[in-house]
Structure 1
Amino acid sequence: MQRWHQRGSRRCSRFLQISYLCLTISLAAPVFLTELQTQDVPDGYPVSFDCVVIGKPAPAVKWYKDGKLLEENDHYMINEDQEGCHQLIITSVLPSDMGVYRCTAENSSGITATKAELRVDGQIHRGLHLHCYKQGRAVYLHSSPGGGSQYV
């Protein structure tokens, strides 16, 4: 911009600097790589529902039984790892645990779900006691009497 005055000339310049920042954001709606499977389990035994889900950003996962949100407690154990593996463990199945279990995965790009049925065999297995212990990501199952122990 230039200005002229009566007594001479004066020159004024202004510079405008513009910077641009380009970001590439990779987004992907959640997708289940492995889905829940229907299971038949004897009364008193533990059961595990397992699935693998991916998405960007990493999806938030929730578990439901017959439409009701499940919270982790002594009866339900919920595990997940950085690779997208998610697990719901019922430590000792009761007849009241029969129903439809659903796992939902949601992020800013979408939501998806997988579901499976749990059927409980009403036979009572006397003398068999199962205990589940959560140690990090592994779940230790201990049975007695006469039974072995295994990691799941």
Structure 2
Amino acid sequence: MWLRKVPVIIKTGQENQEEIDFLDTPTIQYLEEGFDSELICDITGDPEPTVTWSFEGKKISYGDKYAKVSETSNNLIVSNVTLKDAGAYACKAVQVSPRITEMKDLPIDVKVHHKPLWNDDKTKAYSFVDGSVNLTCEVKAEPEANFTWTKDNGVIYPSDSAQIFNDNNTSILQLKVNDSRMFGDYLCIAQNKLGTLERVIILQQGEKPAVPTAKVTVEGVDRLELSIDAKNHPEMPIVGYRVQYKEAGEDWSQAQSTYFKKASIYVLENLKNDTPYVLRAASKNAAGLSDYSVEVTKRTEKIISSASTSASFSISSCVALLLFLLVSASLL
């Protein structure tokens, strides 16, 4: 059952005062791209409020773009709607009389219904046999788009070699490349009630990156500095490294992972002091990740407290003084 808000009426002597009430005005509203669309501001009050509209904080003036529905309505007509008309609107009401002055405004989040539009320009991807790859389709659409993936005119469904993840106008087709037949053209279809968009993403066979060599060059109390290097393929250079690290004795399933863009020094930070760590690295190029390198084990340094330092210094001083006295006595 639909219920309508009842306005609050305050009695002051012989007169009734009705406060501003936006009743059931929606705080999220929609415009239709390419059409003239109406925004609702359902309001009541006594004395009758004067209503104005604003968009992105600026007062709206009536003209070719904006108009009132009628003299008796506070609704707003937005002409020839485009995506630029989406944003933050406000319906503002003012009551002024000898017995009351009140101002209220209602923020309204306005979205524009439109067909899917591409939000990226990805048309190529690379992998290698026994590798894995993500093919991504990303669009802007309202209402949200539904996605379909096809290859060789057949719809792709989740399987051992393919998984599909859809969320917030983005679809990811995750492939395990079991054999060379999986290379080729993949069609992504994005669709809502206002239109359909299609794009071919070409999965090409690339070169698996070489396994890197990794070594620790500097050990700190809470950090390890690394040197990592791998042989480049001339047509598919190394772009970065993934480093996995764990405390000695832990399983690799418990390891942490950090990705570094290719540089000269790589630093693992926020480590425990005086703790042995095991690490390994994989190189990355456009086709994916290499196998992991040989494991390297290094211990972070121990924290030396100021008290220990002072005590050590005091003992050393005492030993030095004693030796001095013994030498002096032997010379007498």
- TM-score, normalised by the number of residues in structure 2: 0.29
Match of 1:34 in 2: 120
1:24 positional shift:
5.2
Match of 2:137 in 1: 51
**Structure 2: distance between partners of 1:146 and 1:71:** 35
SS at match of 1:73: coil
Which structure has the bigger radius of gyration? 2
1:121 positional shift:
4.7
**Structure 2: distance between partners of 1:37 and 1:143:** 23
Candidates 110, 122, 137, aligned match of 2:195? 110
Q: Structure 1 regions of 5+ residues with no counterpart?
A: 1-22, 126-141
Q: Is the 8 A contact 2:147 2:189 kept in 1?
A: yes
Q: Is the 8 A contact 1:64 1:102 kept in 2?
A: yes
**Structure 2: distance between partners of 1:29 and 1:46:** 32
1:92 positional shift:
3.0
**Structure 1: distance between partners of 2:131 and 2:189:** 25
1:67 positional shift:
2.2
Q: Is the 8 A contact 2:116 2:139 kept in 1?
A: yes
Q: What do residues 15-52 of structure 1 show as CA deviations (whole Å, max 9, x unaligned)? A: xxxxxxxx855420011101433123221100111121
Q: Structure 2 regions of 5+ residues with no counterpart?
A: 1-28, 33-112, 211-288, 296-332
1:63 positional shift:
0.6
Aligned pairs for 1:8-87 within 5 A: 25-26=31-32, 27-82=113-168, 84-87=169-172
**Structure 1: distance between partners of 2:206 and 2:197:** 30
Which residue identity does 1:67 align to in structure 2? N
SS at match of 1:34: coil
**Structure 1: distance between partners of 2:196 and 2:143:** 12
Q: Is the 8 A contact 2:127 2:177 kept in 1?
A: no
> Identity over aligned residues, as a percent?
19
**Structure 2: distance between partners of 1:46 and 1:58:** 28
Candidates 179, 184, 191, aligned match of 1:94? 179
Range moving further from structure 2, 102-111 or 88-97: 88-97
CA RMSD of aligned residues (A): 3.0
- Distance verdict in 2 for CA 1:24–1:145, change over 3 Å: closer
**Structure 2: distance between partners of 1:36 and 1:120:** 16
Q: Is the 8 A contact 1:35 1:114 kept in 2?
A: no
1:93 positional shift:
4.2
Segments of 4+ in structure 1 off by > 3 A? 23-26, 142-148
SS at match of 1:44: coil
- TM-score, normalised by the number of residues in structure 1: 0.60
Q: Is the 8 A contact 2:188 2:198 kept in 1?
A: yes
- Greater fraction of residues in helix: 2
- Greater fraction of residues in strand: 1
Aligned residues: 109
**Structure 1: distance between partners of 2:172 and 2:121:** 11
- Distance verdict in 2 for CA 1:147–1:61, change over 3 Å: farther
**Structure 2: distance between partners of 1:74 and 1:24:** 41
